[in-house]
Structure 1
């Protein structure tokens, strides 16, 4: 990998494309945005007072698409990096996390009588966060568990309580663990509070563990 010295500029590229890496990234983001808009075209967007299931993913897709257009413009206006070799680890774990979320949040039939139980956001959320986190080789299970137990209850309260979106939050069998006179939202809030408390407990009980030292020295003999 080349190293730019102080005061030097990125290498200039021939042709109209001055930043191939930005061009590829912009095209990928635009493709993802177009796919999301196509998949949500039959969903109701609703209003700000009564948000529908398509509002959040649709506007996120628009934001991603605009970011892709900005990268495309930068690819022709500003010098940037060439495309580099990339590993399959990232895409495999990210796609795996998305698929795991899809087949666990609601009952999913594979055909032939094989159907997964609907576990709701309570299980699908942490599972997707932990799997997606391993897309980087620097991932640590402790940090991913704390993130999953912290982010999932936030999403549960946001989507299931505040926005009243029709997203399955927890298995129906879980309601039997709480008093019969509790409403569904009361069970949701209690579950979210328990998960947040577990996240704090995991953080406090594991924060004093020493991390393995990371060797960052260059042993290649090059300067």
Structure 2
């Protein structure tokens, strides 16, 4: 009997693909965690979406994908679960929790975190989530965070006009009272994009200076 036939016989139990089953259950767990963390946010309606509508429906979609993937692990032949580390799931869950507890005011006993808005919660979640891989480097992750977060800020806070906290109120108090919330949002988004571009260009300049230039011998 060949090796592949032996592996098929081993999988003819209840679980046909332990890898798909584990991945599906993990997605369901992430969806349940997201629904629990955003449970106090109002959903609103399609004409006037609340801050909880988008994350809730994204969580439902992730949960349904997880159920489908887990179901395929019971019905279809697939790979078995191999050894894996806790680094990836740990940092992904930590990023989700960090985003949830910093975008709005959060208190748990003596621990009180003021609402910092997406301008802080977004980059924090991106940087923490990036460390799910052992090859992560802080500076490229920071460039990604500073470049991606302004897009989300403008999309949700300006174009879709969702009532999502974008920046802490203490920051708005430091700026002229005549400035509107959207004007502050656009200014902060532009500054973050410029910071990301400056860091990216400085990285490219630093790498180019590290290249050794081989001097050609002079012709006789």
TM-score range for the pair, normalised by the shorter chain length: 0.7 to 0.9
Largest Rg, 1 or 2 = 2
TM-score, length basis structure 1: 0.78
- The unaligned stretches of length 5 or more in structure 2 are 211-220
**Could you tell me which residue of structure 2 aligns to residue 57 of structure 1?**
55
Alignment deviations for residues 10-41 of structure 1 (CA, whole Å, 9 cap, x no partner): 93223142211101212222343345446656
Deviates more, 1:24-33 or 1:183-192: 24-33
- Secondary structure class of the residue paired with 2:64: helix
- The unaligned stretches of length 5 or more in structure 1 are 213-223
Alignment deviations for residues 137-163 of structure 1 (CA, whole Å, 9 cap, x no partner): 011222201110011111111222222
Q: What is the aligned counterpart of 1:160 among 140, 157, 161?
A: 157
Q: CA RMSD in A?
A: 2.8
Which residues of 2 match residues 183-222 of structure 1 at below 5 A?
A: 183-210=180-207
Alignment deviations for residues 100-136 of structure 1 (CA, whole Å, 9 cap, x no partner): 3233323333434x53333221112111211111111
Which residues of 2 match residues 1-223 of structure 1 at below 5 A?
A: 11-12=7-8, 13-37=11-35, 43-112=41-110, 114-210=111-207
Deviates more, 1:18-27 or 1:87-96: 87-96
- Secondary structure class of the residue paired with 1:47: coil
Matched-pair contact (CA < 8 Å) for 2:38–2:100: no
Q: Distance in 2 between matches of 1:92 and 1:157?
A: 30
CA positional deviation for 1:176: 4.4
Distance 1:181 1:9, change over 3 A: farther
Matched-pair contact (CA < 8 Å) for 1:26–1:67: yes
CA positional deviation for 1:60: 0.9
TM-score, length basis structure 2: 0.79
Q: Distance in 2 between matches of 1:132 and 1:154?
A: 18
Distance 1:73 1:194, change over 3 A: same
Matched-pair contact (CA < 8 Å) for 1:10–1:79: no
Distance 1:31 1:174, change over 3 A: closer
